[in-house]
């Protein structure tokens, strides 16, 4: 789901298979957002706006529909023209959250595999507390699809927010 913030200047529209150059801002929803596309937002990471150790001329180059981009961004780019800006709401499963078994505690090597049962008493008659599963959040973050944070601080901000809906504001610099 997206909303056009600014219309493009015309020219060739981005289509599946087209190479594009873009700038983006990934933001956390603010408290006043009622439709998930408006209201306040605080930045998580960006490229091309001079906010995260980047310059105003930096762009991300990718091919639309090739599996390089997160699914939400890949589909939102179709139909955009140079200079256009779109704001999209990205649910975790269409963004940076892996949707396979690597997020379960049993498969990522971080489980607490004690011999305790779920409550009750042990052989000495002492109460046994059930053990919780530990999930390694870094194993749940999709780190192969673009866009990705470029520095440590931005990666940590994404690690705290990858499993919630995020806003992405994308500006199409050009169709290459």
Please give the average per-residue pLDDT across 136-156, as a whole number: 90
Continuous H helices in 66-165: 71-77, 152-161
Is residue 40 pLDDT above 80, yes or no?
Answer: no
For residues 52 and 94, which has the higher predicted lDDT (pLDDT)?
94
| Band of pLDDT at residue 44, cut at 50, 70 and 90 | very high
Please give the average per-residue pLDDT across 35-62, as a whole number: 87
Please give the average per-residue pLDDT across 168-173, as a whole number: 96
d(C-alpha 123, C-alpha 13), whole Å = 71
Is residue 47 pLDDT above 50, yes or no?
Answer: yes
Q: Which of 17-26, 96-105, 130-139, 148-157 is least confident?
A: 130-139
Cα dihedral value 22, 44, 97, 5, nearest 10: -50
Predicted TM-score (pTM) of the model is 0.79
Please tell me the predicted confidence (pLDDT) of residue 133: 60
pLDDT in tens, 98-141: 887 657 544 444 444 444 445 566 677 776 666 656 667 788 89
Q: Which of 6-10, 39-43, 50-54 is least confident?
A: 39-43
Q: Where are the beta strands (DSSP E) in the chain?
A: 2-6, 19-29, 41-47, 60-63, 85-90, 166-175
Beta-strand pair 85-90/166-175: antiparallel
Please tell me the predicted confidence (pLDDT) of residue 1: 81
Three-class secondary structure of residue 33 per DSSP: coil
Please tell me the predicted confidence (pLDDT) of residue 116: 44
For residues 54 and 113, which has the higher predicted lDDT (pLDDT)?
54
Please give the average per-residue pLDDT across 134-161, as a whole number: 89
Beta carbons within 8 Å of 131's beta carbon, 6+ residues apart: 112, 114, 116
Please tell me the predicted confidence (pLDDT) of residue 39: 66
Please give the average per-residue pLDDT across 85-101, as a whole number: 90
């Amino acid at each position: 789901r997206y909303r056009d913030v600014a219309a493009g200047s015309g020219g060739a529209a981005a289509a599946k298979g087209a190479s594009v150059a873009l700038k983006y801002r990934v933001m956390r929803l603010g408290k006043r957002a009622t439709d998930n596309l408006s209201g306040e937002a605080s930045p998580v990471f960006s490229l091309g706006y001079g906010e995260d150790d980047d310059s105003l001329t930096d762009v991300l180059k990718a091919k639309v529909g090739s599996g390089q981009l997160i699914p939400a961004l890949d589909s939102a780019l179709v139909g955009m023209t140079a200079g256009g800006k779109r704001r999209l709401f990205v649910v975790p499963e269409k963004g940076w959250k892996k949707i396979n078994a690597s997020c379960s505690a049993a498969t990522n090597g971080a489980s607490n595999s004690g011999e305790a049962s779920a409550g009750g008493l042990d052989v000495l008659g002492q109460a046994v507390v059930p053990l919780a599963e530990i999930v390694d959040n870094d194993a749940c973050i999709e780190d192969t699809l673009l866009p990705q944070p470029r520095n440590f601080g931005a990666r940590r901000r994404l690690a705290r927010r990858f499993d919630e809906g995020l806003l992405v504001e994308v500006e199409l610099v050009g169709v290459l």
